[in-house]
Amino acid sequence: MAPVLDPMVGRYVQLEIDGVPHRVYFEEAGNGIPLVCLHTAGADGRQFRHLLADPEVTRRYRVLAFDMPWHGKSTPPDGWEKTEYRLTTASYTAAIRAFCKAMELDRPVVMGCSIGGRIVLNLAIAHAAEFRALIALEAADFQQPWYDTAWLHRPDVHGGEVCAALISGLVAPQAPPVSRHETLWMYMQGGPGVFKGDLYFYRVDGDLRDKVKTIDTKSCPLYLLTGQYDFSCTAEDTLRTAGQIPGVHVQVMKELGHFPMSENPAKFREYILPVLEKIATA
Amino acid sequence: MSPADRFARLPDLLADDPDLVRRGRWLNVECRVDIGAEPFHLVLKEGALVSLDRGPRLMRSTVFTVRGTDEAWGKHWEKVPAPGWHDLFALTKRGVASFEGDLRPLLQNLQYFKDLLALPRRLQETG
């Protein structure tokens, strides 16, 4: 019997981010408009595996999901053991632009979730001309913190389990149990301190209040989609952000939480396919 | 049934969930959960509930306390809770629940406690 293969292919690309050599893992599938997918904090590109395997998407889009440095199969840079990982607006933006450049992508669409959504807002603020369209999932200019990140990386609490347990409540109750637990498993596999380091960007460095007012959706269309069960980035947070950006498309997604693409792929599809259709036919 | 009456059924609910007991097998702690104005004192041993004392107990010590309003627990335990009422941290974020004390055993066993404190949601399924 022939092997049953998923359609996406995984590879490593060598690139420099801010002059530092990196080896970055990515998966891709499809042909057409490049669509770069950014995973949530403390997770990896596997969150987009259903999108990568969706013929409705891949017939028109070349979908690429890369693991951020320190995440998934992308190793940290040499000498990582002497540093404490901290993602910043500058380093995150540099990583995304370096990946797009290394892969020679021509004005890709970028879709990010959570911290990936927040950085998409920064791309819209600072680098809109480089992108065909931007999609921010579970994104806002600012969100109220709801726990102390000091619990995420300490020897007396299992980092993977506490990270997964904390974010488990961000999955909507309607999520299929298999997808819920696959989403949590990815959190359990994160490297020590990586989720915490990502949240430095989210909590300390990535406050975009006021800055989002400068977004020009005429130069690059912007779509904001947030799940109604996301209490980290609430629908109100997203709607407040959208209210400051003329021309933005905003949608609250019912029965979805903070991880729409992995917690309930079938439900997410109902919302993302029309957006991708709109971008492809614009 | 009041939220406190539902929580009082916790011993049977946990006994009916051997998988949750298994997941809490490293846990030994005495803690307190307030359902509205009513305190409950829990003694947990290897993930099982050894005792559940309802009501005030003079000078009873506890490692940590989880408090929630009657409304918070009532909405949390609806069959499909509404957004913003569906998780323990959604409740604390909106200010209708709180934690205090030594939170280390709580965080070391966080999914266990989330699931434990959500058990009364099952009561509507069984009547």
Which domains are assigned to chain A?
9-281 (3.40.50.1820)
Q: Contact A173/B81, CB-based, under 8 Å?
A: yes
Q: Is the dihedral of CA B24, B25, B29, B32 positive or negative?
A: positive
CB contact at 8 A, A33 and A58: no
Q: Contact B89/A164, CB-based, under 8 Å?
A: no
Nearest chain A residue to B90 by CA distance is: A231
Chain B contact set for A165 (CB, 8 A): 110-111, 114
Q: Considering only CB atoms, which residues of chain A are within 8 Å of chain B? A: 144, 146-147, 151, 156-158, 161-162, 164-166, 168-170, 172-174, 228-229, 231, 234-235
- From the list A75, A84, A140, the residue with the least C-alpha distance to A112 is A140
Give the pLDDT mean for B48-76: 97
Rounded to whole angstroms, what are the CA distances from B39 to A11, B13, B105?
56, 18, 19
Taking only the tens place, the pLDDT of each residue in A211-232 is: 999 999 999 999 999 999 999 9
pLDDT at A205: 86
Query: Which of A149, A158, A168 should one mutate to test binding to chain B, selecting the residue with the greatest count of B CBs within 10 A?
Result: A168
Taking only the tens place, the pLDDT of each residue in B15-29 is: 999 999 999 999 999
pLDDT band at B127 (very low <50, low <70, confident <90, very high): very low
What Rg do the C-alpha atoms of chain B give, in angstroms? 13
Chain A contact set for B84 (CB, 8 A): 231, 234
Q: Contact B111/A231, CB-based, under 8 Å?
A: no
Residue A55 token pair: 């013929």
Taking only the tens place, the pLDDT of each residue in A142-194 is: 999 999 999 999 999 999 999 999 999 999 999 999 999 999 999 999 999 99
> Mean pLDDT across chain A, nearest whole number?
97
Predicted confidence (pLDDT) at residue B125 exceeds the cutoff of 70: no
Nearest chain A residue to B111 by CA distance is: A165
The alpha carbon of residue A128 is apart from the nearest alpha carbon of chain B, in Å, by 33
Give dist(CA B127, CA B124) in Å, integer.
Answer: 5
CB contact at 8 A, A252 and A236: no
Which domains are assigned to chain B?
3-120 (3.30.1050.10)
Share of chain B above pLDDT 90, in %: 97
